[in-house]
Amino acid sequence: MSKKFSCLREGKINEELMADLENENFTQRKLTARLQQEIELKNKAVAEFKAEVHGLKQELAAQRAGMTELETDFRENQAKMASLQKIHNQTKVYLEQLQARFERFRGKIIQAAYCAPGAKFPLNEISDVEILRTMQKIIDDRSQFHQLLTQKGERMPPLFIMETQLPMKSKPISPKKN
């Protein structure tokens, strides 16, 4: 009988052990299922992060391309601005030269118009329109006088000199200093 009791005890211990193993197995399955869900969620989050990183990389590449294009445009605009500045400066110098020539021409016209015998020098400032009228009057008077002389048979050089007939002004050659 002791063998029977011992077998019963062993059977009971086995049953308890089996129940404990089944409980532990059940707990382990629950834990495994929960861990698998967590892994799936983490994998999903990793996939979302990878997609976000990919999108950010594309955005960064587009921004870099845009920056490169802007830098190129900036350099081109700087070159254009430098060119326009040079043209502006050249134009300014040319304008100043023209103004100086105009003032010399204006002075010569005033001298020719108002320094002639019998001419009255004006008391007020002379306007450009008055100078133009006076110059036109001088040209008309000289043209009429030239025509009158030509009609009388006098040999006169032409009034208008062609630019190709103008003598070239040459600068005197100065010896080099050693």
List of the chain residues with pLDDT < 70: 1, 4-5, 116-119, 161-178
The per-residue pLDDT for 161 is 65
The per-residue pLDDT for 162 is 58
Structure tokens at 38: 């967590």
Number of residues in the chain: 178
The Cβ of residue 169 has, within 10 Å, a number of other Cβ atoms equal to 5
Write down the residue that tokens 């299922």 correspond to.
Answer: 33
The Cβ of residue 113 has, within 10 Å, a number of other Cβ atoms equal to 19
pTM metric for this prediction: 0.47
Distance CA 21, CA 116 (A): 137
